[in-house]
């Protein structure tokens, strides 16, 4: 018998949720211990699966399928291909580092970790479910805990941000829900099974042209596609550190994943038809995000808007639809996920000590906290696409691939990166170098345990920058397959 590794991965955080319910109030050490234990196990299983994935065979692997709703032809069907594998790995990493970062949460700890793990369960489920209905259910489980997580443990303007985020994301999933119903009844096969729908759905081109925009906008809202991005910077800023990490690191990728899987793969002709519109929106996000990020003095807002810009790149790659661009888009999902997780975790570290995120109130931090500063600088440089770090191969592939199909838009989007680089370097210079200023004297260096999360993330950025084949071996066969 083979080990049901995918089910085990979902079960880790799910069991964590159940266990936490039974931990008596006030036993915070036990709560943190359980959360850490399940995330270590999930990370271990994900890495194991990453190593065991048969790269030569490609395609869907680790398949499990059980009956769930036979009347509707919906099954519990889990499997991963190159994309799913990449994102599961990303989620496991962000979950582990997020849990470590969350150790500084000091009130309502038990509820916090219950919601946190619930969210992670939803994300894992969405990445590996090959059943549209079940995917949608997991998708919502991933989105909703955000409301409470931001509303209770958040900071600046949290109630507003939580409400705005929830309503916008739910409106997005409303569109997906309409698309889900239409897909089900328009297909020749009356099933929710993704693979069957993709291979023998028999969707007419005119139907695809109607449904694709629903999927693109519905999932695109979660991926913060311009102009439906404005929940995201507010949400990032208000959320507690680890939730920002998960949110920018993984949840937004879930949106892009939805567009890829249930938009482009299911309705390829619709995707081609709407390609120019999608690409324009995405390129708009790239430019807009970069320009607005440059105006910010709040570090979190700056990262929030640069996330909009980076997710714009992902969407641009998806819209371009060439193998290279898709390859780059998926790579960017992973590298941006790790990069923002690191960003937010570093900013959170400063904020916890000084309660300020204002760029002008810091200076010369590099001498004071060399480890965190180094991590932040690595993330910043990866963000501007410095070769040798994980952002570079992704952006390179997106632009190379995108240029084939949308040369003009690509040429518009590229300069914003240069602009972003210029600005990022200025911020790094101001905050980390130069004379000690503002709150800097109050900042103390980080502990080994909590520092380990940042160092892990920074190490991965370097690793996947130097050896892009570690991921592109997984993604490239998928992208080639997709084009057929």
Partner 1 sequence: MMLQLLPEFAALGALLILFFVTLGNNVSDRAARWITLALSGFVLVAAIAAQDQSGLMFANSYKLDTYSQFFKILMAFGLMANALLGWPLRSVPTAQRSEYYFLFFAAGLAMMLLASAFSFLVLYVAMELLSYSLYTMVGMRRARTESIESSVKYIIIGATASAIGLFGVSYIYGATGSLNFGALIDSLKGTTTHSALLMPGLVMVLSSFLFKLAAFPFHAWAPDAYETASSPVAMFLASVSKLAGIAFLFRLVYMVKPYMPEFETVIGILALITMTFGNLVAFRQTSVKRLFAYSSIAQAGYLMLGMIGFGDSAPVAVVFYSAIYLLMNLVVFAVVLELERYGEDPTLASFQGLYKRNALMAMALLVALFSLAGVPPLAGFFGKWLLFSSAAQGGHIWFVAFAILNSVLSLYYYLFLVKAAYFGDVPKEAVSLDKGGSRIAILVTTIAIALLGLYPRVLTEYLTGLNFPRSLLP
Cβ neighbours, 10 Å, residue 67? 10
d(CA 311, CA 322): 18
Select from 116, 127, 184, 257 the one that contacts partner 1 (CB under 8 A).
184
Asked if residue 408 binds partner 1 (CB under 8 A), the reply is no
d(CA 434, CA 425): 13
Select from 48, 60, 103, 177 the one that contacts partner 1 (CB under 8 A).
177
Select from 185, 435, 447, 448 the one that contacts partner 1 (CB under 8 A).
185
Cα 420 off chain centre by: 20
Give me the torsion for CA of 456, 461, 464, 465, rounded to 10°. -150
CB of 23 to partner 1, least distance (A): 13
Positions of E strands within 319-462 = none
CB of 167 to partner 1, least distance (A): 6
- Containing 338, the helix (H) or strand (E) segment is helix 323-354
List Cα–Cα distances, 194 to 76, 77, 180, 189, 215, in angstroms. 11, 9, 11, 11, 14
Name the residue nearer to partner 1 (CB basis): 72 or 418: 72
Q: Judged by CB under 8 A, which stretch of 35-43, 176-184, 394-402, 450-458 contacts partner 1?
A: 176-184
**Exposed/middle/buried for residue 447 (C-beta within 10 Å: 0-12, 13-18, 19+):** exposed
CB of 27 to partner 1, least distance (A): 15
Name the residue nearer to partner 1 (CB basis): 182 or 400: 182
Q: Judged by CB under 8 A, which stretch of 3-11, 181-189, 406-414, 448-456 contacts partner 1?
A: 181-189
Select from 33, 174, 276, 407 the one that contacts partner 1 (CB under 8 A).
174
Name the residue nearer to partner 1 (CB basis): 71 or 447: 71
Name the residue nearer to partner 1 (CB basis): 78 or 290: 78
Q: What is the DSSP string of 282-336?
A: HHHHHHHHHHHHTT--BHHHHHHHHHHHHHHHHHHHHHH--HHHHHHHHHHHHHH
Asked if residue 148 binds partner 1 (CB under 8 A), the reply is yes
d(CA 44, CA 361): 40
Asked if residue 216 binds partner 1 (CB under 8 A), the reply is no
193 DSSP 8-state letter? B
Q: Judged by CB under 8 A, which stretch of 29-37, 169-177, 220-228, 374-382 contacts partner 1?
A: 169-177
CB of 230 to partner 1, least distance (A): 17
Name the residue nearer to partner 1 (CB basis): 143 or 384: 143
Asked if residue 233 binds partner 1 (CB under 8 A), the reply is no
Cα 33 off chain centre by: 25
Cβ atoms of 271 and 263 closer than 8 Å: yes
Name the residue nearer to partner 1 (CB basis): 136 or 262: 136
Cβ neighbours, 10 Å, residue 199? 10
Asked if residue 163 binds partner 1 (CB under 8 A), the reply is yes
d(CA 347, CA 298): 10
Asked if residue 137 binds partner 1 (CB under 8 A), the reply is yes
Residues 11-70 that bind partner 1 (CB under 8 A): 68-70
Cβ atoms of 315 and 285 closer than 8 Å: yes
Residues 105-124 that bind partner 1 (CB under 8 A): 111
d(CA 12, CA 40): 9
Instruction: Tell me the number of residues near partner 1 by CB under 8 A.
Output: 28
Select from 181, 408, 467, 480 the one that contacts partner 1 (CB under 8 A).
181
Asked if residue 228 binds partner 1 (CB under 8 A), the reply is no
List Cα–Cα distances, 66 to 45, 124, 354, 427, 461, in angstroms. 21, 18, 51, 52, 38
Name the residue nearer to partner 1 (CB basis): 168 or 375: 168
Binding site for partner 1 (CB under 8 A): 68-71, 111, 133, 136-137, 140-141, 144, 147-148, 151-152, 159, 163, 166-167, 170-171, 174, 177-178, 181-182, 184-185
């Amino acid at each position: 018998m083979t080990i049901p590794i995918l089910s085990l991965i979902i079960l880790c955080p799910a069991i964590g949720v159940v266990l936490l319910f039974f931990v008596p109030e006030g036993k915070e050490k036990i709560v943190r211990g359980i959360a850490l234990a399940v995330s270590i196990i999930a990370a271990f299983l994900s890495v194991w699966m990453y190593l065991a994935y048969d790269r030569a065979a490609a395609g869907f692997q680790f398949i499990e399928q059980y009956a769930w709703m036979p009347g509707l032809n919906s099954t519990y069907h889990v499997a991963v291909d190159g994309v799913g594998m990449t994102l599961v790995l990303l989620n496991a990493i962000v979950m582990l580092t997020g849990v470590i970062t969350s150790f500084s949460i000091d009130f309502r700890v038990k509820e916090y970790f219950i919601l946190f793990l619930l969210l992670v369960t939803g994300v894992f489920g969405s990445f590996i479910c090959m059943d549209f209905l079940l995917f949608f259910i997991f998708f919502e489980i991933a989105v909703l805990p955000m409301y409470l997580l931001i509303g209770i443990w958040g900071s600046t303007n949290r109630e507003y941000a939580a409400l705005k985020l929830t309503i916008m994301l739910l409106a997005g999933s409303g569109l997906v829900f309409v698309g889900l119903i239409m897909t089900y009844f328009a297909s020749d096969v009356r099933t929710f099974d993704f693979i069957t729908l993709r291979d023998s759905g028999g969707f007419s081109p005119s139907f695809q042209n109607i449904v694709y925009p629903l999927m693109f906008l519905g999932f695109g809202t979660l991926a913060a596609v311009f102009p439906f991005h404005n929940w995201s910077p507010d949400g990032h800023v208000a959320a507690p550190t680890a939730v920002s990490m998960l949110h920018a690191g993984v949840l937004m990728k879930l949106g892009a994943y939805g567009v890829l899987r249930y938009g482009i793969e299911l309705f390829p002709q619709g995707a081609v038809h709407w390609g120019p519109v999608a690409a324009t929106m995405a390129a708009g996000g790239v430019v807009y995000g970069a320009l607005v990020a440059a105006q910010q003095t709040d570090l979190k807002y700056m990262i929030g808007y640069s996330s909009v810009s980076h997710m714009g790149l992902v969407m641009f790659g998806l819209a371009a639809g060439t193998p290279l661009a898709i390859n780059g888009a998926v790579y960017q999902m992973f590298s941006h996920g790790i990069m923002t997780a690191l960003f937010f975790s570093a900013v959170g570290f400063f904020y916890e000590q000084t309660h300020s995120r204002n760029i002008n109130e810091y200076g010369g931090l590099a001498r004071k906290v060399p480890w965190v500063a180094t991590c932040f600088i690595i993330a910043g440089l990866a963000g501007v696409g410095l070769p040798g770090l994980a952002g570079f191969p992704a952006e390179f592939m997106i632009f190379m691939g995108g240029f084939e199909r949308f040369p003009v838009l690509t040429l518009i989007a590229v300069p914003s990166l240069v602009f972003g680089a210029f600005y990022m370097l200025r911020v790094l210079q101001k905050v980390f170098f130069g004379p000690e200023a503002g709150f800097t004297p109050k900042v103390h260096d980080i502990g080994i345990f909590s520092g380990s999360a940042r160092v892990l993330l920074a190490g991965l950025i370097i690793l996947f920058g130097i050896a892009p084949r570690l991921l592109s071996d997984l993604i490239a066969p998928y992208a080639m397959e997709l084009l057929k």
